[in-house]
Amino acid sequence: MTDRLGFGAASIGNLYREVSDDDARAVLEEAWAGGIRSYDTAPHYGLGLSERRLGAFLAQRPRESFRLSTKVGRLIVPNDGPRRGTDEENGFVVPDDHVRRWDPSLDGIRRSLDASLERLGLDRVDTLFLHDPDVYGLDEGLRQGLPALARLREAGLVDEIGVGVNSVEAAVRAVREGDLDVVMIAGRYTLLEQPAARELLPLCRERGVRVLAVAVFNSGLLASDTPATAHYNYGAVPPELVERTERLREVCARFGVPLPAAAIQYPLRHPAVDQVVVGTARTSSLRANLRHMTTEIPDGLWDALRAERLIP
């Protein structure tokens, strides 16, 4: 099932903590050895650090042997304003000598792609996502960004175009208003919650749009087989979700299935979902994710979760 598992490269862009070049390369080596051939990155991840590290690794592999996606909408430009020393305000432990500038225009998106290719050291990416248009201005983002992406696809510069968002509503609008190939939805179709199931997933299936489910552990809440300190949407966990997580854990335990295994496999049960994309900078976590993908899960577990009204 490793063909249905993608590697998300935010963590090797120093998400929340500093990661050495050696550790970043080690986790990429582990992913490759485990059969992962699909990789996702973005300029946003460490102000280009993720792209540089991932590109250096993939440049040593035959180009036809992997698929690669990156994102546009945020240009990385020199920081001419005040500095705090690091970009930790945005979640990345890297120098804040550059900043992000939102530009969903055709020129901005083309410049962003060119800059990404330079950082990656590659001549093309397979898939290009408009990144978080709902964060900066959804109307402008979709009105400018979706036609711009389509122009790049028509010119043969990328094979696929899509959006990467956290909002179901934004993803639905993008699918309805654009001619997309793929949607990356973060945290909205997981074992914990499934708001994407109501409209987004049926719409994508109807229109032949691939869905990539990311943040399937809900920012770490479902990542451990034992209760642990975690976050939800990168913030405090609401009490009702703590209780729901424990109920999920208890049902999984009755069937001898680790909670993370159920979490990583659950989205793939929907016919609209093509892949799950999971990121880490730790080789131990990468090995665990590979194990979870191949864990045998009895149908009785899913039946029990439905009976408990924990999944639709």
Q: Going along the chain, which residue ranges are E strands?
A: 5-8, 38-40, 67-72, 74-78, 86-87, 92-95, 98-102, 127-131, 160-165, 182-186, 210-214, 273-279
Question: Is residue 230 within 8 Å of 221, Cβ to Cβ?
Answer: yes
39 part of the active site: no
Closest CA to 110 of 157, 66, 77, 143: 157
Give residue 34's Cα distance to chain centre.
19
E runs forming strands in 106-159: 127-131
Instruction: Assess contact for 113 and 145: CB atoms under 8 A.
Output: no
Q: Catalytic: which of 39, 45, 189, 266?
A: 45
Instruction: Measure the CA–CA gap between 303 and 161, rounded to whole angstroms.
Output: 36
* Nearest in space to 122 (alpha carbons), one of 48, 41, 68, 76: 68
Beta bridge partners of 95: 86
d(CA 216, CA 219): 8
User: What are all long-range contacts of 29-33, with beta carbons under 8 Å and residues at least 24 apart?
Assistant: 29/57, 30/283, 30/286, 30/287, 31/7, 31/286, 32/57, 32/61
Residues tagged active-site: 45
